[in-house]
Structure 1
Amino acid sequence: MSKDSAELIIIDEYSKTPKYRQIISSITNSIQQEKLKIDDKLPSVNKILIEFDISRDTIVKAYDYLKANKIIKSVPGKGYYVMTNDISTGPRVLLLFNKLSAHKKIIYDAFSMELGEQAAIDFYIYNNDFKLFKRILQEKEESDYTHFVIISHFLEGGNSAIEVINEIPKSKLIILDKKIDGLTGEYASVYQDFEKDLYQVLTEMIEKLSNYERLKLIFPNYTYHPESIKNGFQKFCDEFAFKYSIINDVNTDDINEGDAYINLMEDDLVQLIKRCREQNLTIGKQIGIISYNETLLKEILLDGITTISTDFELLGKTAASFIKTKTKAHIPNPFHVKYRASL
């Protein structure tokens, strides 16, 4: 008799984890919890398709993976059956990112690839919203996961995040991208040192920057980016006697020949380019542009946008290596510049 799919399979529509991976995790968890035993029949592809409104290809992909790993078997004309209860348990990770972007995808891809197929990853995006972040964590059972991997950036309410994160067992916690002041216990982290990174990379760029009269940092009033970025920028400009200003809105700033901009947000980069074109200012000669966070698009946009960026692929790989080796280190992630035609 086939088991009821509703008892065995959990599909979370809010999770960014691919649905085929959610099916795999559901089946393997059911076997480990003895809801499924050897020779028990699994729900048919058609039954899952109808009940969860999932494509046939997604379900078949999950079942093919389970077959390839000799967890289930198919009997022609009858269906799929549990083949073994001896499942090597990989890490079960709750992965929480503040937003989904090109560089966050690089982190996720590197992280999941480094962990391998044996890992079960529940991936959620909380859109810089502290209330959603808190709700996701409170709705999850701590015992369901071996690790909690978190990027902590909020538009507001972030001061209360420390209380929520401190409730996670530190042996299971890995913090990515940003240090969290006040976090107690022994946990792992791979982080950017935003103030130090920006100061050092601008120091490396000083010869190029000297071609411009004024440096401008576009730092919106309403942003999740840490204030330490402004500190690093101001420290550099003061120490090396650069004229500078911090701009809250690129749409209202007076753009003049000899300005060099550092932008954090992709939308601000687009608006800056549009306004330079409207004023017939040549980017890379009359106006300089440096953009945070390396992406493939910035390699080709305007023959190349100069970027300052952490190594997102390495960040993801390092986080995964912490899980595999049970490391509890705090490691700064490398930060570097890629010169292109915009500067």
Structure 2
Amino acid sequence: MYLLHLNHKSKTPKYKQIVESVITDIERGLLKKNDQLPSISEMSAHYDLARDTVEKAYRELRERGFIVSVQGKGYYVSGGNDGKIRILLIFNKLSSYKRLIYYSFLQQLGERAQVDLQVHHYSAKLFADIIERNVGKYNFYVVMPHFVHDLEKVNLEEVLKSIPADELVFLDKDYPNLPNKHLAVYQDFQRDIFNALLSANELLQKYTQMVLVMPSDGNYPTEIARGFHNYCVNYKKAYQIIESASEEQVREGTVYCVIEETDLAELIKKIRQTPLLLGQNIGLISFNDTTLKEVLDITVITTDFEAMGRTAAQLLLEGKKEKVKNPFYLVRRGSL
């Protein structure tokens, strides 16, 4: 008997659920061309559905071209998904960096997959709604698990466990508490920040103080601050963590590590209003590289966003269940 995906608590009419279940399984490759579906009598008896409900669903599937009826034989699947992998990609937000990940992911997959994109905007509740609507409809669910809002409203671990482990992929950040093995391409923010600063240790020697400019809205991993703190403590640097550069009086002998580009622009303006020289008696390090930062000669600490998307796609295509740490490094430029 065909395994029908029915939710008796759902407000969606039963005939629509039958239609969606069959279409989803065709698109996922679970139902293939010429596969036979149960008869109307078999389906209604097995799932305790009215014959009219099943008949209405089959009629819609036939009208939409997903199945055909053969006189005296039954109902058959008329097409397939052309062998494409169906992937739901769920970002925490849209940005220029996410765009790099997205396009490298698509490019590596080529014509072998169909990718749908949704955004949870750091909301655990919105993420839970996305999964509830889409679980069972895709071969893989690629998730950026950065959540800040609505955490008290949702059991996030249960939501993630509702996705089969062999279909779940974490991107940018791992979620190690889940019991079953899943795929991940991740950053180790705390260790990465520490090692990136350590790689520039000789350049940082000329500065007496370090300041991390990190907004307190919770949208950035706290591990960034811990990595910064660990470096400063281990290498005996006076340090400070502030939320914004708007009220900061720039000081000689200070190197600023800046996450937001608005804070970077604010600090550049303020430094230009002083006799201080970037890379000599005041320093700037920005998070995540861009062409503009390269033109402005700004030192950056960054992950390789294109490699992240490319690696995730390749692991999916090869059927590997691995956890891969994404490359992370410091790019030395004149601002340090």
With normalisation by structure 1, the TM-score equals 0.73
Q: Deviations over 1:2-24 (max 9, x none)?
A: xxxxxxxxxxxxxxxxxxxxxxx
The correspondence for 2:142, drawn from 136, 139, 149, is 149
Q: 2:182 aligns with which of 180, 184, 187?
A: 187
- Residue of 259, 262, 265 corresponding to 2:260: 265
Q: Which has the higher Rg, Structure 1 or Structure 2?
A: 2
The 2-side partners of 1:126 and 1:317 are apart by 22
CA contact (8 A) 1:162 1:180 kept: no
> What's the % identity of the aligned pairs?
35
Shift of 1:322: 1.5
Cα pair 1:98 1:125 within 8 Å, conserved: yes
**SS, match of residue 117 in structure 1:** helix
Aligned letter for 1:297?
L
Does residue 1:311 correspond to 2:299, yes or no? no
Change (3 A) 1:323 1:294: same
Summarize the Cα distance change of 1:305–1:123 in structure 2 as closer, same or farther, 3 Å threshold. Answer: same
Q: Find the residue that maps to 1:257 and give its secondary structure.
A: coil
1:287-340 Cα distance to aligned partner (Å, 9 max, x none): 21111112222111x2x2111111111111111012101111111111111111
CA distances 1:210-237 after superposition (whole Å, capped 9, x unpaired): 1212111112211321111111111111
Aligned partners of 1:296 and 1:206: how far apart in 2?
Answer: 25
Q: Which runs of 4+ in 1 moved over 4 A?
A: 28-34
Q: 2:133: which partner in 1?
A: 139
3-state DSSP class of the match of 2:279?
A: coil
Q: What residue ranges of structure 2 are gaps of 5+ in the alignment?
A: 1-22, 34-60, 68-77
| Match 1:297 to one of 292, 297, 308 | 292
Cα distance, 1:265 vs. partner?
A: 1.7
Note the alpha carbon deviations across 1:38-78, whole angstroms, 9 max, x for none. Answer: 9xxxxxxxxxxxxxxxxxxxxxxxxxxxxxxxxxxxxxxxx
Inter-partner Cα distance in structure 1 for 2:157 and 2:248: 36
Shift of 1:268: 1.8
Counterpart of 2:258, as a letter, is N
* Structure 1 residue aligned with 2:333: 340
For residues 1-343 of structure 1, the aligned pairs below 5 Å read 29=27, 35-36=64-65, 85=79, 88-140=82-134, 142-158=135-151, 160-300=155-295, 302=296, 304-343=297-336
Output one character per residue of 1:109-167: Cα deviation in whole Å (capped at 9) or x when no partner. 11111011231111012222333222222222x22100000111123335743332222
Structure 2 counterpart of 1:338, one-letter code? V
Shift of the 338–133 alpha-carbon distance from structure 1 to 2, 3 Å rule, reads same
Question: Matches of 1:340 and 1:218 in 2, distance apart?
Answer: 19
Code of the aligned partner of 2:142:
V
Q: Equivalents in 1 of 2:88, 2:66: separation in Å?
A: 27
Aligned CA-pair RMSD: 2.6
- The answer on whether the counterparts of 1:98 and 1:152 sit within 8 Å (CA) in structure 2 is yes
When residues 194 and 37 of structure 1 are mapped into structure 2, their CA distance, relative to the original with a 3 A threshold, is closer
In structure 1, C-alpha distance between the alignment counterparts of 2:149 and 2:253, rounded to whole Å:
35
**Which moves more between the two structures, 247-256 or 172-181?**
247-256
**Deviation for aligned residue 1:256:** 0.4
Q: Secondary structure at the match of 1:165?
A: helix
Aligned pairs, how many?
271
TM-score (norm 2): 0.74
3-state SS of the aligned residue for 1:138?
helix
Q: Which ranges in structure 1 are unaligned for 5 or more consecutive residues?
A: 1-24, 39-83
